[in-house]
Amino acid sequence: MVPAFSLYGEEQPGDLPDVLHCETIAARAALHGWLISPHRHMRMHQVLRLTAHGAMAEVDGARFRLDAPCLVNMPPQVIHGYDFDPGTEGWVLTLPTELVMGRGLARPFVAEGAGDDIALFDLIAAEHAGRAPGRAERLRALAAALLIGITRGGAEDEEDETGHPTLRRFALLIEEHYRKHLPLRAYAEQLGITATHLSRLAREATGAPASRMIEDRIVREARRELAYTALPVSQVAYALGYEDPAYFSRVFSRATGMSPTQFRTRIGHDGPLSTGNGAKR
């Protein structure tokens, strides 16, 4: 399985013990030889700001170069790793998902160039390190200002599908239950609406039925397991709650246009991926 952390290298993948966490890139990367192996954060959202040097990045199997100055948006669940140039400078901000949801930042992206946010990172880091009265409120306010600035910068032009309050709750329920393959009506009942109403909201926001949101989450997890583990396809199917691996393969093929085995062949390996200096998109 792909390692899951709250903060990289720390054993418990649960919630942060603070309002947020802010540290320099060097604070953690230097301890690991500047190599942050592929991992993910289950309920945490990260924003990286590189101010000097750079890294080879790997995000859900895609490898590409990051050169400062740039900003990286990394939502929860996305598998990512970095092979930083020694001496790379910048900040890593880790936030609970509830501070970020509904801001149009649900997908990973890189925004190149310097920005006004650097001053905000400095303020957040200073406030995080202190214990002044009103610290929690100010940290939330500074984080909100940073996220608004990122969104206004045009990093994500389209509102994500969880922009509607009910769909945000639906997305959280999917995250909790997608391996159980609950029928749509079970989700709708927990939301206090009908399955028809839920599908209408999803169609208005995404152009697809609500069931597609569930299937997309399952397929996204399947892609990650196929890319980052050496599990046989049948074991991936069982891990995702399928009793019949053949049915899982049909679902995956319908969603991606290729079988699980073809997907692994296309990304060029039969087991876990790793970051490396020669990796390019």
Instruction: State pLDDT tens for residues 188-233.
Output: 999 999 999 999 999 998 899 999 999 999 998 898 888 888 889 9
* pLDDT at residue 273 is higher than 60: no
Secondary element (H or E) of residue 222: helix 210-228
pLDDT of amino acid 135: 94
Instruction: Domain ranges for the chain, please list them.
Output: 21-152, 165-266
Q: How many other CB atoms are found less than 10 A from the CB of residue 120?
A: 20
Per-residue pLDDT band for 259 (boundaries 50, 70, 90) equals very high
Instruction: State pLDDT tens for residues 33-73.
Output: 999 999 988 889 999 999 999 999 999 878 899 999 999 99
**Alpha carbons 123 and 125: distance in angstroms, whole number:** 5
Do 165-266 and 21-152 fall under one CATH topology? no
Q: How many other CB atoms are found less than 10 A from the CB of residue 122?
A: 12
Regarding pTM above 0.85, the answer is no
* pLDDT at residue 11 is higher than 60: no
Question: Which architecture, in CATH terms, is 165-266?
Answer: Orthogonal Bundle (1.10)
Angle between helices 195-206 and 210-228 (to 10 degrees): 70
For domain 21-152, the CATH superfamily is Regulatory protein AraC (2.60.120.280)
| Amino acid, res. 14 | G
* pLDDT at residue 20 is higher than 60: yes
Q: What are phi and psi of 188, to 5 degrees?
A: -60, -40
